[in-house]
A = this chain, B = another copy of it.
Amino acid sequence: MLKKTELSGVKEIARRANVSIATVDRVLHNRPGVSIKTKEKIDAIIKDMDYKPNLLARRLASKKVFKFAVLIPKESKETEYWNAPLQGIRTAWSEIQLYGVELSFFLYDLNDRTTFNQEAEKIFKDSFHGVIVAPSFISESVEFFNKCEALKIKCVFINSDISNVRPLSYIGPDLFQSGKLAGNLCKYLVSQQGRVLVLNISRELDSEHHLRKKEAGFKAHFDETRPDVDIEVKSLYETDYISVTKELQSYLKNHTIDLIFVTNSRVFTVAKYFEENKISKIKLVGYDYLSQNLQYLEKGVIDFLICQKPIEQGYQALLTLYDYFINQSTIDKVQFMPIDIITKENYKFYKN
């Protein structure tokens, strides 16, 4: 039986280069203390062998610890949405904890922008390598990002992005395209001269800004394919059921419409109103895989939900930081989530 001559990895490189493992290691990590000549020789051999380090061994031997922070909204009474990304982050964490990842959570209140800065301050008190941020408030987020840059803290944005700012990666929907898809779907639900109401339900002006991207996409699709359809837009700044009810009541008294498109997860509020007032002729399309929405989907009150994998957004966000710091992979600047269509018939199989 032949003796296995092929040493693996570093050892083999060392053997070929006639140096020790330590020297190879220095070259691999760009550490000083290697003459240019030997460095070049070793680099050539590495390239020649197409050497791929054994990540298992690498992580096992490395005692480095990375600290990451999470800065996202806390789950509110009004919508459970933000629970999903958190869950994804937790799942990812359970997978990589072993490899020296520490995680701290900082949750702010979507209805109170001052809490964003409060939590941000806490983050800067400690020293983190990276942060997962949901940049709900534009100016605050920009400021936060700039401070991170100065401190060499890497940011990953999730759920919505901000123009003119380049984090390590943005992981979330293409909002405009998401609205376009909604338009695409709704086109099939209304007649040639139909009437459509687009509803932004959100308290803070900034997040409304994000909703407006969806709105724009929605309109764009109709402009391209059905210019005759009448589209009206309304923004509601009070998000509780009573307020929404009032607005809807007065609106529907004066208008006849075929469809309502709600630009975020609060579509269930409208659905509840429809159900209680036995409105069944108006089609209803909205966002997000929440239990509150699913029950109305099941009942047929909501026709379609569009979903952008919030759990996976969280999961990918943490894995992205992991890939960047631990695996030293190159990171895609933008990681768009798929734009998924959920109906009564497929929601049970959906993976959020």
Contact = CB atoms under 8 A, between A and B. Distances in A.
Interface of A: 54-57, 59-60, 98-99, 174, 177, 180-181, 183-185, 188-189, 221, 303, 336-341, 343-346, 348-351
Q: Which of A181, A336, A338 has the most CB of B within 10 A?
A: A338
Give the number of copies in the complex: 2
A296 to B, nearest CB: 15
Given A60-B60, A340-B341, A341-B343, 20 more contacts: A54-B98, A55-B98, A56-B98, A56-B99, A57-B60, A177-B348, A181-B343, A184-B343, A184-B344, A184-B346, A188-B188, A188-B189, A188-B303, A336-B349, A338-B340, A338-B349, A338-B350, A338-B351, A339-B346, A341-B346
A344 B184 CA distance: 8
A343 B180 CA distance: 11
26 contacts: A54-B98, A56-B59, A56-B60, A56-B98, A56-B99, A57-B60, A177-B345, A177-B348, A181-B345, A183-B345, A184-B343, A184-B344, A184-B345, A184-B346, A185-B343, A221-B345, A338-B346, A338-B349, A338-B351, A339-B345, A339-B346, A339-B349, A340-B340, A340-B346, A341-B341, A341-B343
A49 to B, nearest CB: 15
B60 A349 contact: no
A303 B341 CA distance: 14
Contacts of A56: 56, 59-60, 98-99
A260 to B, nearest CB: 16
Contacts of A221: 345
Contact of A349 (B55, B174, B188, B351): B174
> Lowest 8 A-B CB distances belong to which pairs?
A181-B345, A341-B341, A339-B346, A184-B345, A181-B346, A56-B60, A338-B349, A180-B345
Contacts of A341: 340-341, 343, 346
Nearest to A183: B345
